[in-house]
């Protein structure tokens, strides 16, 4: 071969080799693709498609088209939505340190920036320990009789009125139980003031955050300031009185790391906020599902009447509430079907490689609890209300009514307890029927039967 041909062959071989190496290196460093999906219009994205219809239609049509991980843009935020149990677990549990909780700034201003849900890391872990200490079974077993007294007086106040709005009444019940678990049973003098201010704060919660006189937001911010003052007074009284009760305020005040009064107030308001509408919505759905399913109502009533007979005029005990498997399954199935929190929010704190896709820093990530609870892959005949399905434990990560991982609900035992106590007295003493249209669902933001479920209630003969 001519030297020139040898030179040319070597040159071509070197070029081919370099090009292939270059391709290999660049493919190793090629960024992963974004998840499939559409981002809609600039800024408004697909907000209208999401909110102009039942949100489930939006989510399920996306899942059908793009699979269980898809991107979209709503309310000015670029989002990745996750509809598979594994993906939800990866964000909430396994890689929780890469995804921080995220809320609009106006919500942080209203509740208080020191509240548990806004944090990660050491401050969050310490608060969580204090909250769990006050709401674990050993702490709340001592307040069963006080919860029972609140349940009985609520039911007695409904009955003479005949027609009530279930959600409204359940909110009052859940508020009173929340105050009991936070402050204990004794201090009552400031409760009315707390209630007035909290209700004003709540009215502003979903309003436009415009802080000028005359707006709901402005009234809410004033009420928030007053709440802080009332709570500072309660804390200072409590310091003088010294108590060894096991309620939440005591747990916060005895923290070795020393929370400031402001941080305590932020967390007291945060817990009322987390405890109230959630528990009241679940209770409202329970009354609806029981009224629509007479066989289930009959089974619950039989279980509760047996407990009533066995307790021979004594009040309910913690042990009684552990012997309610049928009612417990009704609560589980209600939380699955109603999925009152359709999803939660996190934000990627850096670019994250996630199950073959890239989630850019700052994007919101939403595990879709409702889709997971309503997927036929996780629950057979998912639209059917069938508490007996919980006779067998659900597959891992498919049942997340209280979330999962570092931010999962620390109040779940208290929520279940107060629901069991109310259902015990309701089903053993009262009957009720639903009034008005019964198929609609409102999202505000929790899923709720239309108009808060108006019912007629009367004492059993």
Pairwise CA distance, residues 120 & 115, whole Å: 11
Query: Is residue 286 part of the contact set for ligand HEM (CB under 6 A)?
Result: no
Q: Cβ closer to ligand HEM: 308 or 410?
A: 410
Query: Is residue 334 part of the contact set for ligand HEM (CB under 6 A)?
Result: no
Q: Cβ closer to ligand HEM: 7 or 443?
A: 443
Quick one: which of 231, 249, 274, 296 contacts ligand HEM (CB under 6 A)?
Answer: 274
Pairwise CA distance, residues 290 & 300, whole Å: 9
- Beta carbon of residue 120, minimum distance to ligand HEM (angstroms, whole number): 9
User: Per-residue contact track with ligand HEM, 76 to 105, x per CB under 6 A?
Assistant: -------------------------x----
Quick one: which of 209, 351, 403, 438 contacts ligand HEM (CB under 6 A)?
Answer: 403
Q: Are 262 and 112 in contact (CB under 8 A)?
A: yes
- Beta carbon of residue 335, minimum distance to ligand HEM (angstroms, whole number): 6
Q: Cβ closer to ligand HEM: 143 or 308?
A: 143
Residue ranges in 171-230 that form contacts with ligand HEM under rule CB under 6 A: 178, 181
Quick one: which of 144, 341, 366, 421 contacts ligand HEM (CB under 6 A)?
Answer: 341
Pairwise CA distance, residues 33 & 354, whole Å: 10
Q: Is 409 annotated as a binding residue?
A: yes
- Beta carbon of residue 206, minimum distance to ligand HEM (angstroms, whole number): 18
Q: Cβ closer to ligand HEM: 178 or 253?
A: 178
CA dist 235 to 134, 240, 247, 293, Å? 17, 9, 13, 47
* Planar angle of CA 151, 275, 399, nearest 5 degrees: 105
Q: Cβ closer to ligand HEM: 308 or 424?
A: 424
Quick one: which of 410, 449, 452, 454 contacts ligand HEM (CB under 6 A)?
Answer: 410
* Planar angle of CA 130, 108, 182, nearest 5 degrees: 35
- Beta carbon of residue 172, minimum distance to ligand HEM (angstroms, whole number): 14
Q: Cβ closer to ligand HEM: 82 or 271?
A: 271
Report cis status (omega within 30 of 0) of the bond before 445. yes
Residue ranges in 118-157 that form contacts with ligand HEM under rule CB under 6 A: 128, 131, 135
DSSP one-letter string for 160-189: GG-EEEHHHHHHHHHHHHHHHHHH-SS--T
Pairwise CA distance, residues 418 & 409, whole Å: 15
Q: Are 182 and 247 in contact (CB under 8 A)?
A: yes
Question: For the purposes of burial, counting CB atoms within 10 Å of the CB of 313, is it exposed (0-12), middle (13-18) or buried (19 or more)?
Answer: exposed
Q: Cβ closer to ligand HEM: 68 or 181?
A: 181
Query: 343 is written with which tokens?
Result: 């999803």
Q: Cβ closer to ligand HEM: 217 or 251?
A: 251
CA dist 89 to 94, 200, 294, 356, Å? 6, 37, 36, 16
Q: Give the 3-state secondary structure of residue 352.
A: strand
CB contact set of 40 (below 8 Å; sequence gap of 6+): 46, 47, 49, 72, 73
Quick one: which of 96, 197, 249, 282 contacts ligand HEM (CB under 6 A)?
Answer: 282
**Residue of minimal Cβ distance to ligand HEM:** 411
- Beta carbon of residue 30, minimum distance to ligand HEM (angstroms, whole number): 33
Query: Is residue 430 part of the contact set for ligand HEM (CB under 6 A)?
Result: no
DSSP one-letter string for 223-245: HHHHHHHHHHHHHHHHHHH----
Interface ranges with ligand HEM (CB under 6 A): 101, 116-117, 128, 131, 135, 178, 181, 271, 274-275, 278-279, 282, 340-341, 344, 401-403, 407-411, 414-415
- Residue positions in the annotated binding site? 409
């Amino acid at each position: 071969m001519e030297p020139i041909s040898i030179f040319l062959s070597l040159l071509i071989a070197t070029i081919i080799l370099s090009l292939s190496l270059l391709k290999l290196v660049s493919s190793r460093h090629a960024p992963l693709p974004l998840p499939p999906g559409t981002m809609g219009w600039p800024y408004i994205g697909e907000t209208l498609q999401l909110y102009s219809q039942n949100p489930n239609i939006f989510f399920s049509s996306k899942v059908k088209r793009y699979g269980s991980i898809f991107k979209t843009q709503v309310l000015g935020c670029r989002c990745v939505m996750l509809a598979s149990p594994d993906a939800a677990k990866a964000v909430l549990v396994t890689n929780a340190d890469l995804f921080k909780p995220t809320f609009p700034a106006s919500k942080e201003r209203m509740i208080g920036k020191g509240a548990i849900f806004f944090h990660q890391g050491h401050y969050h872990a310490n608060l969580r320990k204090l909250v769990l200490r006050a709401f674990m079974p050993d702490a709340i077993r001592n307040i069963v009789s006080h919860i029972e007294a609140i349940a009985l007086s609520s039911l007695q106040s409904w009955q003479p009125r005949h027609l009530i709005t279930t959600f409204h009444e359940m909110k009052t019940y859940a508020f009173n139980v929340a105050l009991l678990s936070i402050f204990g049973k004794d201090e009552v003098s400031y409760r009315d003031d707390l209630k007035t201010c909290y209700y004003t704060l709540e009215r502003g919660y979903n309003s436009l955050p415009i802080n000028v006189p005359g707006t709901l937001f402005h009234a809410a911010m004033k009420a928030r300031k007053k709440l802080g003052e009332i709570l500072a007074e309660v804390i200072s009284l409590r310091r003088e009185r010294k108590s060894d009760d096991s309620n939440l305020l005591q747990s916060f005040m005895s923290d070795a790391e020393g929370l400031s009064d402001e941080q305590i107030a932020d967390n007291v308001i945060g817990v009322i906020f987390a405890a109230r509408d959630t528990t009241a919505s679940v209770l409202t759905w329970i009354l609806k599902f029981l009224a629509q399913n007479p066989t289930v109502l009959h089974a619950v009533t039989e279980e509760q009447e047996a407990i009533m007979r066995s307790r021979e005029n004594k009040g309910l005990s913690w042990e009684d509430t552990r012997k309610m498997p049928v009612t417990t399954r009704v609560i589980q199935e209600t939380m699955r079907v109603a999925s009152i929190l359709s999803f939660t929010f996190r934000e990627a704190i850096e670019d994250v490689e996630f199950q073959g896709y890239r989630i850019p820093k700052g994007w919101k990530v939403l595990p879709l609890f409702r889709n997971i609870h309503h997927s036929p892959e996780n629950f057979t005949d998912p639209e059917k209300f069938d508490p007996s399905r919980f006779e067998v434990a659900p597959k891992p990560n498919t049942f997340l009514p209280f979330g999962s991982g570092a931010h999962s609900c620390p109040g779940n035992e208290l929520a279940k307890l107060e629901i069991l106590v109310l259902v015990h007295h309701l089903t053993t003493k009262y009957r009720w029927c639903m009034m008005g249209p019964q198929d609609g669902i409102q999202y505000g933001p929790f899923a709720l039967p239309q108009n808060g479920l108006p019912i007629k209630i009367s004492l059993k003969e």
